[in-house]
Structure 1
């Protein structure tokens, strides 16, 4: 599972967004934002192999898109964290802010949290500790066509090349990390061997010279 896109909006006004790949997500999400009822709280919409998850809190909508239909807990944990940080940072400013006025400052936060929930094994553990599992079980999951008007269509385009490149980069990064770990293990092993050899040489020399004071060797000199 990977979260590939996220935004914070007030109604249809997007205040900040971030994606780690290429696609027409802004076009699709603008359609979705216009369809989300003010009374909604949290929901997921499936589109082919991708899922749009959103949380509505007050007049603000926190939305993300993931590439898996089988994982809902982490996307909603991600959205909860984004809501927490955004509310703490901006408070009532978001109620009157113009479109993208927070983007320069907040998109790096979206990127940081996205990378954490995508790559850090601890993310799932944090979610479980916060007791968000039961909440997600009650989230309604529907096909995106249910929110579209008759005859209305949207086409989601995702650049899979970017995703493959990111996965390749991640694999390369993990390989380098493993290589460094193995190198340090070898260094530690050779240092341990060198230390043992030095101790053996010292012990043999000490025995030959009459003890730790080396008095036999000193008297010969």
Structure 2
């Protein structure tokens, strides 16, 4: 069994899902859903021997949990077909507003179940070939490593948020840039002050020599 758990969500609210395995991964999937940005994206989260693939588009998220042995081509093919079936279904037109959790379970849950069964038993080869070509051109599908599961394997570690890391790095960079600017400002001021002092000394020497020459001329 390659595909284990699949769902369709609106934001972080699961509208319909199907789980083929016995182990409960609801906390893991809910954590991942809460981390998905609102913009359109495709991503793979890697955790232990499992892969959480998702497509987020138009306010809806299509997510499937699969064995590591399934790779990424077949699960994303499944997600693409799941997305097409959902958009083409009458339930999609009725889901433009926020719905309660599992509001479409009775209507679209069986569709997810049947599609998972098809891909777990005999995935369409034509679709897989097409997906391979599409994935070769898609550059926004990334792989994100996830920390190990916490105690008893029931909870998932908070996902590493690269945005926070980049923000921290940017803050440190700006702080360092301000420090460098201050150092350069003081350095320029010191150079300017030194130049003024040197100029005054030169003027004083010239004036002293001039006065000395005038005195000698007067005495003669």
2:39 paired residue number: 39
Gaps of 5+ in 1: 158-221
Measure how far apart 1:4 and its partner are. Answer: 0.6
Measure, in 1, the Cα distance between the counterparts of 2:128 and 2:81: 10
Structure 1's 137 and 73: CA in aligned 2 closer, same or farther, altered over 3 A? Answer: farther
Measure, in 2, the Cα distance between the counterparts of 1:74 and 1:134: 13
Give the TM-score, by structure 1 length: 0.61
**Cα RMSD (Å) of the superposition?**
2.4
Single out whichever of 19-28 and 53-62 deviates more from structure 2: 19-28
Aligned residues: 151
- Equivalent of 1:116 in 115, 118, 121: 118
Higher radius of gyration, 1 or 2: 2
SS in 1 for 2:56: strand
Measure how far apart 1:110 and its partner are. Answer: 0.7
Measure, in 1, the Cα distance between the counterparts of 2:35 and 2:62: 14
Deviations for 1:113-140, whole angstroms, at most 9, x for unmatched residues?
111111115x233221364342467520
Give the TM-score, by structure 2 length: 0.62
SS in 1 for 2:94: helix
SS in 1 for 2:22: coil
Measure, in 2, the Cα distance between the counterparts of 1:22 and 1:136: 33
Deviations for 1:72-130, whole angstroms, at most 9, x for unmatched residues?
01101101111111111123322223211110121111111111111115x23322136
